[in-house]
A and B are shown apart, each in its own frame.
Chain A
Amino acid sequence: MAFHKDHELHERRSGRNFGLLAVLIGLVGIVFGLTVVKVTNGEFAEAFDHVSRPAITMEDTQ
């Protein structure tokens, strides 16, 4: 199967499409980095996840 040539619109907009890609990759990187930092610093908050855990039940913490 032969490769087809990119449409002129895609060529014209390639600059801003790649720019947006870079921004989105950067955002993902920042969210990932923040997650790592917060978990490493012990800021991770436990929450209810349908499993009984004595550590987060009221009667055990009081």
Chain B
Amino acid sequence: MGLDSFKRALWVYHLNTGSCNGCDIEILAALTPRYDAERFGIVLVGSPRHADVLLVTGPVTRQMESRLKRVYAQVPEPKMVMVVGSCGTEGGVFHESYNLIGPVDQCIPVDVYVPGCPPRPEAIIEGVVKAWLKLEKAQEPVAA
């Protein structure tokens, strides 16, 4: 797959737009010693201005919509957006309600989807690697 070809570490900012926390704990479990995504250089950062990848979970509630758009604007280019969980991908069990704006791609453009309710940590790591590969391709200089 070319894991030895990554040129630098990948910094991820995690945003919760109203999820039940199931996906969030599987994301954190992916970083703990059992699955240990950190050995690839994947790390969670505390500010969107440092991030390469924006990791979004949850169906977007009305209160969180403007925050989602603001955080998206703060992440510097080149950036990737990754959605974890069925509710962000296409609604899941929450596909129709009075306080939900809809899945994440109705608000911001999304690059990688990881479906599941919640997806296993292995699936989340695969999703991050896919985002990584896409990001590296986006950073390659355009052939003259």
The answer to whether A and B come from one shared complex is no
Residues of B within 8 A of A (CB): none
Residues of A within 8 A of B (CB): none
